[in-house]
Amino acid sequence: MYQNLMKFATFNLKSRNRTSEIKTLAWNVPPAERIHIPEHWLTFEEPKPIYNYALGVLYIFFFLISIVGNGLVIWIFSTARSLRTPSNIFVVNLAICDFVMMLKTPIFIYNSFNLGFALGHVGCQVFGAMGSFAGIGASATNAIIAYDRYRVIARPFAAKLTSAKAVLYLLLIWAYVSPWALFPLFEQWSRYVPEGFLTSCSFDYLTPTDEIRNWVAVMFVICYVIPLSLVIYFYAQIVSHVIIHEHNLREQAKKMNVESLRGNQSANQTSAEIRIAKAAITICFLFVLSWTPYAVVALIGAFGNRSLLTPGLTMIPACTCKAVACIDPYVYAISHPKYRQELNKKFPWLEINEPTNASDTGSTTTEMTNNTSAPAS
């Protein structure tokens, strides 16, 4: 009996030692900083260091790829005369949003290699605010780009977009975006808090209060549903217009007993516009693909079963939204005719095979002044 008691005591002591060795997710966070962490995350064990290191390395690649790609888009679209058109102001704005999205990644990288909330509350506020301005700004810009493509392709005889009107649209975008980025920053409505491995930050979607639930619902509508609905509507109209237009041309050609009513210049012009539209559609699709996981996670955190949200799971949306900021500029490098031409001029060693057609300068995205076509976007 004495031996059994000793075994039992030894087992209990080992169990206590194992329990004391288990570190929680916030084991290295000072007590003064813990008040900024949602209680949900404090119940999880610390992840293996290799996971943080792997994410840190991944974000280094994200950072380099995005800074180079978006930097090139901003530089070339801003300096190349053939690309300085009103429509391309929105392309530059989207590239700036992606650029800002990745400028904050050094905070994540530092936190990851220090295994947690290393830069504390201040770093979290900078990270969250930059992410909100960039993410919401990208969603609003994608909606404007979709409208611009719709206007160019489906309504080619409508009034041309002027630089003044494009700048006005740009101001409206940032007027729309700013409140939703600033409310959490000044803690007027919601707040920026760490999430996942406590290495990234976003708006609070886990605190079980009506204020947070209302915030998540409003953000879902304002920053996701409305832009996404506009994008779907405008691109659906574009597809419908192209299908009807092509059908009418074929029918008319049959009646006139000719192979095609479209001249070479008209065909090339239409082809350029369709390629630009395809690039825009691809970027919008990538936006939906990257931000939908974040929307789902936020809705689960506010209205669903929070136990589903583990630190590892919530790092997936954080990665997808950064990945799209890397991919966007390379979509233009593949699909945008004028951008490819300018890229080839500045870096001929890339050997980009993009023919220069006279019809490109007659693109319907150009601004008409004194009946003279400016260079196309």
Sorting pLDDT into bands at 50, 70 and 90, what band is 9?
A: very low
Q: Which pLDDT score, from 0 to 100, does residue 17 have?
A: 45
Out of 3.40.50.1970, 3.40.50.450, 1.20.1070.10, 1.10.3720.10, select the CATH number for domain 38-238+275-373: 1.20.1070.10
Does residue 18 surpass a pLDDT of 90?
no
The per-residue pLDDT for range 91-104, each reduced to its tens digit, is 999 999 999 999 99
Give the mean pLDDT of 264-272.
54
Q: Which pLDDT score, from 0 to 100, does residue 93 have?
A: 95
Give the mean pLDDT of 342-366.
65
Give the mean pLDDT of 159-167.
90
Does residue 295 surpass a pLDDT of 70?
yes
Share of the chain above pLDDT 70, in %: 82
Q: Which pLDDT score, from 0 to 100, does residue 86 have?
A: 93
Q: Which pLDDT score, from 0 to 100, does residue 57 have?
A: 97
The mean of the pLDDT values for the chain is: 83
Sorting pLDDT into bands at 50, 70 and 90, what band is 349?
A: confident
| Cα–Cα distance measured from residue 115 to residue 107, given in angstroms and rounded to the nearest whole number | 12
For residues 283 and 142, the answer to whether their CB atoms sit within 8 Å is: yes
Share of the chain above pLDDT 90, in %: 53
Give the mean pLDDT of 248-256.
74
Residue given tokens 């998540």 in the structure block: 216
Long-range CB contacts for residues 359-362, cutoff 8 Å, separation at least 24: 359/264, 359/265, 359/266, 359/268, 359/269, 359/272, 360/268, 360/269, 360/272, 361/82, 362/265, 362/269
pTM of the model: 0.83
Q: Which pLDDT score, from 0 to 100, does residue 159 have?
A: 79
151: amino acid identity, one letter: R
Q: Which pLDDT score, from 0 to 100, does residue 30 have?
A: 93
